[in-house]
Amino acid sequence: MSTFFRPALSMLALMTLITGVAYPLVVTGIAQVAFPEQANGSLIYDAAGKVRGSQLIAQSFSGDEWFHSRPSAGAFATVASGASNLSPSNPALAARITEDANKASVPGQGPVPLALLTTSGSGLDPHLPPSAVIYQAARVAAARQLPLDKVQGLIEASTDRPLIGPPVVNVLALNQALNELPSAQRNAQL
């Protein structure tokens, strides 16, 4: 019987060392050398060097001075991320969309972009299409007492244009860029 257990236990120990220790260490080492920013979570830092979030995970912003992300079914919690799975005929979904549309509506701007009313599959998508961000620009500019063209310039500078796929804006990175504007620059063009 020991003739069966010894090779099996030896193989278990060897495979545990290879797949549980060696392989993760090699992959982590390669990632740290080749892609250090991504391997460490694609973190966003403020001017003081404090971590403000990740480029990969949306955050909730409230108040007129911030660009708002798309709604989250999981309250932007990474543990509870996911979709609400409410059907289009569900009254709770219709009520949530109506409430969000009333909150996001900007007089004179036309209908609220769909991206500001619908959740993403993960509930943590940090990106919005530029049209949804531009829709919010006048509100943010007025709340921050910034010229609208300055805010639109920040939106343009924050727009990512991938090789494949539509352009997107990372809302957290855009809000961070807004926050880092010097106060003299904010009021110079008023």
* Cα distances (angstroms) measured from residue 106 to each of 10, 59, 66, 153: 68, 21, 14, 20
pLDDT tens figures, 119-176 = 776 767 788 999 999 999 988 998 889 999 999 999 999 999 989 989 999 998 899 8
- Number of Cβ within a 10 Å radius of residue 52: 15
- In this structure, are residues 55 and 173 in contact, taking their beta carbons and an 8 Å threshold? yes
Cβ burial of 63 (10 Å; 0-12, 13-18, 19+) is exposed
Domain residue limits, the chain: 1-40, 42-188
pLDDT tens figures, 2-61 = 788 888 999 999 999 999 999 999 999 999 999 888 888 788 787 788 887 777 777 878
pTM of the model: 0.72
